[in-house]
Amino acid sequence: MHRRSFIKVLGSFISILSLRINSDTPKNQVSFNHGIASGDPTNTNVIIWSKLTVNTNSSIRVNWEVAIDKSFKIIINKGTVLALKSKDHTIKKDVYVDAKYNGLPLFYRFNVGQIYSPVGQTLTLPANNPSNFKIAFCSCSNYPAGFFNAYESIADDKSIDLVLHLGDYIYEYDENGYATEDSNRLGRVVNPKHEIVSLKDYRLRHAQYKTDKQLKKLHSLKPMICIWDDHEFTNNAWKNGAENHDKDEGLYKARKVNAIKAYYEWMPIRETQSKSKIWRSFKVGNLFQLLMLDTRIYARNKQVDIEKYFKNGSFNKKAYLNALNNPNRNLLGKKQLDWLDNQVSSSFQWSIFGQQLLSAPTYVPGFLKTLDVKTLPSYLHRYISLAGTNIPYNTDQWDGYPNERERFYKIISKSKSSIVIAGDTHSSWVSNLYSKKQKFVGVELGTPSINSPNFSDVPIFNKNIKKLENSFINENKNLQWMDGKNKGYTLIDINNEFVDTSFVYVTSVKKTQYKSFIGKNFKLFNNSKVIV
């Protein structure tokens, strides 16, 4: 069993004169093998994306069209864009949409001559208050771990307006790495087969994901707002390094640059001058504001290594907690926190904070000490020894940065009603959030994985899954409910008075035949604690 199963069960301008423009590329040299996608919708604009597969190093002029009908009889905007070799022949256009089409279904496509991309559907965000607005959010899609049935389930739900991806859209491991046990049987061996490090590697891995039929279907039908987590780089990344980066893999800084460049090329995300500043805001009337944050690579200091505090069969609790509570430890960092402080407003009915990690304090429940853990690797016995002690164990989450968490809570408490959404853990969580002074500041919803392993994939935990879930709830005072066995996504249907919340699961990720079902449904009310 991989250690992560337990610990994480998270522009320069180009001169036109330098371009070789080829608008007469033979038909058999151009195709749109990776589908289309849209993202980052605002009240006036939306990003549309595609990728050309071509047999040339030249730049290709590509036409794009946006219409209000699928047959493209009523085109509302169109133009051309260059598919540059320097950007892996990916195509991205930030399209302006007139206000009269605001919030309505839009259709888009690309073409080179008579060769057309698939047709995509998208929208711009309503500027006025709709009666409701429905968002699906998800994370942790590991290609070799199984099928992306949950993506297809989102795509098939016509009531969903927008998708948020909270990170781990791709994974970096090699063909024998994390969650690859069934990859050969399922026909999902990673490309390239080695761990990705170079720009070419990251591009190839993104390309493989964009050939998945279920993910292509999702992108063709729903706009997506995305943020990265660690596996878009490498496991447990921070600003100057990562747990899964070794010296023989070159400079981490170079690897980070490669990952960021490929991410912006292959994802339908709006680009700014500073590519490392991924945080951004969106709004729908005064119904809600959505603030997407980066807890991963911009300002994060290195995680405290809990392993160092186990010595001679004992755990140095005092030294460990002192290290965690160092006031100089950053997660979001001052610039991002200051930006957030300026953005949060009580003029919205709801403020939604999209980020990667669980912020609620989480402790290993004492129940684990009753299990026969001999089948688990010896290093996991150390973590289980902390069960029932109220000692935070996952320093990669907000638990590793408690002082900055307190400032984060103080900022979000200025909103009328706060919903913090999180990915990364591969399980489902619902928590009430409190400051150190026990002031209620909002509700947290942790979404399950699309298909990455969770507690149910560890035999001894799966055998005791209900008791394990109950023990987490009983021994973590913030936690109201959790599910450690199912994979899927989370739905929030935002209304003025409440947010209807559903955890939607799929019956299998190892077969393409599956059913979707609601595992839990409840309502969140304005500025109220959740009772599940």
Quick one: pLDDT at residue 2? 52
For residue 375, what pLDDT is reported? 75
Do residues 48 and 109 lie in contact, with contact meaning Cβ atoms separated by under 8 Å? Answer: no
DSSP 482: E
Among 305-319, 392-406, 497-511, which is the least confidently predicted range?
A: 305-319
Q: How far apart are CA 333 and CA 248, in angstroms?
A: 30
Q: What is the pLDDT of residue 426?
A: 98
CA dist 499 and 502 (Å) reads: 10
DSSP state of 123: -
More confident residue, 206 or 18: 206
For the chain, the straight-line distance linking the first and the last C-alpha, in angstroms and rounded, comes to 32
Over the stretch 334-372, which tens digit does the pLDDT of each residue have? Answer: 999 999 999 999 999 999 999 999 999 999 999 998 888
| Coil, strand or helix at 444 | strand
State how far the Cα of 478 lies from the Cα of 486, in Å rounded to an integer: 21
Question: Which residue, among 400, 289, 401, has the nearest Cα to 340 in the 3D structure?
Answer: 289
Least confident window among 190-204, 217-231, 358-372, 488-502: 358-372
How far apart are the C-alpha atoms of 124 and 130, rounded to whole Å? Answer: 13
Query: Nearest-CA neighbor of 293 among 268, 330, 346, 247?
Result: 330
| Separation CA 156–CA 220 (nearest Å) | 11
Domains of the chain: 11-122 (2.60.40.380), 133-525 (3.60.21.70)
Q: Is the pLDDT of residue 464 over 90?
A: yes
Mean pLDDT within 158-175 = 98
- In angstroms, rounded to a whole number, what is the distance separating the alpha carbons of residues 340 and 280? 9
Where would I find the beta strands (DSSP E) of 366-515? 418-422, 428-434, 440-446, 479-483, 487-494, 498-506
Q: pLDDT at residue 475 above 50?
A: yes
Name residue, tokens 């290195």: 302
Give the pLDDT confidence score for residue 476 in this predicted structure: 96
pLDDT reported for residue 17: 33
Assess contact for 136 and 491: CB atoms under 8 A: yes
195-206 burial: b if 16+ Cβ within 10 Å, else e:
bbbbbebbbbbb
- Whole-number average pLDDT of the chain: 94
Q: Which of 353, 326, 324, 328 is CA-nearest to residue 341? A: 353
Tokens 């599910």 map to which residue?
483
Token pair 């049935």 is at which residue?
Answer: 149
Is residue 292 over pLDDT 80? yes
Burial class (CB in 10 A: 0-12, 13-18, 19+), 437: exposed
Out of 12-16, 151-155, 325-329, least confident range: 12-16
Q: Is the peptide bond before 192 cis (omega within 30 degrees of 0)?
A: yes
Reduced to 3 states (helix: H, G, I; strand: E, B; else coil), residue 106 is strand
Report how far residue 337's alpha carbon sits from residue 280's, in angstroms, rounded to the nearest whole number.
12
pLDDT tens per residue, range 398-432 = 999 999 999 999 999 999 999 999 999 999 999 99
pTM of the model: 0.94
Helices (H), 174-237: 183-186, 199-209, 213-221
Distance CA 409, CA 433 (A): 8
Bridge-partner residues for 502, per DSSP? 491, 521
Phi first, then psi, for residue 168 (nearest 5°) are 60, 45
What does the pLDDT average to over 107-130?
Answer: 97
Residue that wins the pLDDT comparison between 313 and 50: 50
Phi and psi at residue 106, in whole multiples of 5°? Answer: -125, 150
Identify which of 270-279, 312-321, 414-423 has the greatest average pLDDT: 414-423
Q: How far apart are CA 207 and CA 226, in angstroms?
A: 17
What are φ and ψ of residue 18, in 5° steps?
-90, -5
218-230: average pLDDT: 98
Dist CA 214 CA 228 (whole Å):
20
Res 16 pLDDT > 80: no
Question: Residue 165: which H helix or E strand, with range?
Answer: strand 162-165
